[in-house]
């Protein structure tokens, strides 16, 4: 799900999964439940359509879109991205970010530039930033936890991390926890 596949003002809400029933409903894969509310508008296949049915769970949502009236119509959309405008997205709490806000941010540790955020990924225990390292090393995963991230400035396109927590310098055992 690359940011190049949708306009910058769009946020990915998930992808059309397999059909559910005969009325045009389908499962949503890679869902972002906050963006899949009844009555919300989603862009898919070049059209904006309203969610007219929302069932299932947040982990396995089932939706039906206006104008998608049968199983064949849902099947024709399978695999396509669902997106909504950033203006329609609900406001997030303090310290919460949409993935597209962090993609492309420079990651620093004090004055040292560590790399650039490629994407945000979901891990079983938390979300993490995948960072392309400046030194050309293997990509770095930075967990989105306060112990790893000191500061996020979306306006400055910068994320400050704690290298000791990430154990890149091998000094993790030398610092005092507290």
The pLDDT tens digits of the residues spanning 93-120 come to: 888 888 888 999 999 998 999 999 999 8
pTM attached to this predicted model:
0.63
Do 91 and 98 contact (CB within 8 A), yes or no? Answer: no
- DSSP letter string over 101-156? HHTT-EEEETTEEEEEEEEEEE-SSSEEEEEEETT--SPEEEESSTTTEEEEETTT
3-state helix, strand, coil in the chain (%, to 5): 15, 40, 45
Q: Of 17-21, 36-40, 85-89, 125-129, which gets the smallest average pLDDT? A: 85-89
CATH of 8-88, one of 2.102.10.10, 2.60.40.2550, 3.40.50.300, 2.40.30.60: 2.40.30.60
Q: Interior CA angle at 55 toward 51 and 61, to 5°? A: 85
- CA–CA distance, 166 with 142 (Å, rounded to integer): 7
What the block records as the tokens of 167 is: 């154990």
| Residue 89 pLDDT class (50, 70, 90 cuts) | confident
SS3 state of residue 86 = helix
- CA–CA distance, 98 with 175 (Å, rounded to integer): 32
Domain edges within the chain: 8-88, 99-171
Spatial CA neighbour of 26 closest among 50, 60, 2, 59: 60
Q: How are strands ordered across the β-sheet holding 112-122? A: 140-143, 127-133, 112-122, 106-109, 158-161, 149-153
Q: What are phi and psi of 114, to 5 degrees?
A: -85, -40
Summarised one tens digit per residue, pLDDT across range 31-48 is 989 899 999 999 999 999
CATH topology of domain 99-171: SH3 type barrels. (2.30.30)
């Amino acid at each position: 799900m690359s940011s190049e596949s949708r306009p910058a003002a769009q946020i990915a809400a998930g992808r059309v999964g397999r059909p559910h029933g005969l009325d045009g409903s389908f499962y949503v894969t890679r869902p972002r439940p906050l963006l899949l509310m009844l009555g919300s508008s989603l862009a898919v296949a070049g059209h904006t359509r309203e969610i007219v049915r929302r069932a299932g769970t947040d982990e396995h949502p089932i939706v039906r879109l206006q104008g998608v009236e049968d199983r064949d119509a849902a099947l024709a959309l399978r695999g396509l991205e669902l997106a909504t405008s950033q203006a329609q997205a609900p406001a997030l709490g303090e310290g919460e970010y949409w993935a597209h806000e962090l993609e492309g941010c420079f990651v620093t540790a004090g004055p040292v530039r560590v790399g650039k955020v490629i994407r945000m990924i979901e891990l079983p225990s938390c979300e993490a930033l995948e960072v392309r390292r400046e030194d050309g090393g293997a990509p770095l995963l930075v967990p989105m936890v306060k112990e790893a991230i000191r500061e996020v400035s979306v306006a400055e396109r910068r994320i400050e991390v704690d290298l000791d927590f990430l154990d890149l310098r091998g000094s993790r055992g030398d610092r005092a926890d507290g």
